[in-house]
Amino acid sequence: MDADRINILVVDDNAEDRQNLEAMILSSGSLPCLVTHADRLASCYKQIDKRGIDLVLLDLFLPESKGLDTLRRVRKKAPELPIIVLTRLDDKTTGIEAVREGAQDYLIKGDYDSKLLHHSIRYAIERKRVDIKLQNYAAELENSNEEYKRFAYVVSHDLRAPLRAMQGFSNTLLQRYSDKLDDIGQEYVRRIANAALRMDELIQDLLVYSRITTTDIQITRINLEECIDKALEQVGGEIKERQAHITIQRPLPQAVGNVSTLAQIIVNLVTNGIKFVAPEVKPDIRIWSEIFQGRVRLWVEDNGIGIEQENQERIFQVFERLHGTEAYPGTGIGLAIVNKGVQRLGGHVSVESEPGSGSRFWIELKK
């Protein structure tokens, strides 16, 4: 842009139309502009190369190119330039289609005055700035996603290898050299092996968390019953081992989501429901749904130890745990996976609970 003048390229094969447009553009004292003309694509390209054009006003019907193809070609030539397309009075759809294809605005020939034209010019320039910013953000996001994936790969391969070595050598030490180690020495070696095992579990869970954060998730209408059945199949062993009782209030409705992601979320909630019970208590879990303010709420209720009000938010963060691993084993990532998964499905998750009275987790999804 010339210090304070907008350089507008008017592309139209009709000389009279170009003159009229120029007169209208220059009629505003508050929008200082320069106008350059082009009567066909070739001269349009030349002007873009030659002058510091700030915006193109483009008639889509030129001798060498017709309709949206004209827009595509100009966009390819100058992707950074804002474009306002000029469509015909009898053509109601091309303008909208042009905006969908990347034009910043459209005007219907013979149906605008200078006020609308000036408004459109300002709008198109601002909109293009925002579009470019968004494109840059998207590219940055894509980049950091890639970095994140590379990081996860390094974590899984390179960090786990030394841990396996620690575990392997500790075990060898215990098996082959136990006669050379006294009880305290053996206990220390066992602790090293356990710490390595614990770190391996943490890394593996972090990788699951990173996967749910970065993988593409196809969102469709899904059947909640299918998700529950899939989840319960995965935790069948634990249910049997803990003699847990699970009640599902069928039928369950459809919702917007993804079967595998939702099954993974339910697995984590049910596993917690089975795990966080007082000693000697048989886990009793109830799953049901309701329509709440036009959305589907899926509830997972347990008869466990409950959660104090003040801790109910932070347990959804990575590594937040309320108990030692001796009492209740775990890594503190399960609910962070739930939280991230629900977020990626466009939903919400929360919990209602009181210590000693069980917990009721809910997931809210679009209908």
| Binding stretches for ligand ADP (CB under 6 A) | 268, 272-273, 276, 302, 304-305, 307, 315, 320-323, 330-336, 359
Is the Cβ of residue 106 or residue 316 nearer to ligand ADP in the bound state? 316
Q: Report the distance separating Cα 75 and Cα 145, nearest Å.
A: 28
In contact, 11 and 42? CB cutoff 8 Å? no
Beta strands 359-366 and 348-353, pairing class: antiparallel
Least Cβ distance, residue 204 to ligand ADP (angstroms): 12
Least Cβ distance, residue 284 to ligand ADP (angstroms): 12
Is the Cβ of residue 120 or residue 331 nearer to ligand ADP in the bound state? 331
Least Cβ distance, residue 217 to ligand ADP (angstroms): 20
∠ CA 332-337-340, rounded to 5°: 130
Work out the burial of residue 276: count CB atoms within 10 Å of its CB; fewer than 13 is exposed, 13-18 middle, 19 or more buried.
buried
Least Cβ distance, residue 54 to ligand ADP (angstroms): 53
Is the Cβ of residue 91 or residue 238 nearer to ligand ADP in the bound state? 238
Least Cβ distance, residue 316 to ligand ADP (angstroms): 7
Is the Cβ of residue 201 or residue 226 nearer to ligand ADP in the bound state? 201
Least Cβ distance, residue 241 to ligand ADP (angstroms): 16
Is the Cβ of residue 150 or residue 245 nearer to ligand ADP in the bound state? 245
Is the Cβ of residue 253 or residue 306 nearer to ligand ADP in the bound state? 306
Is the Cβ of residue 60 or residue 277 nearer to ligand ADP in the bound state? 277
Least Cβ distance, residue 301 to ligand ADP (angstroms): 9
* CA-closest candidate to residue 272, choices 307, 230, 233: 307
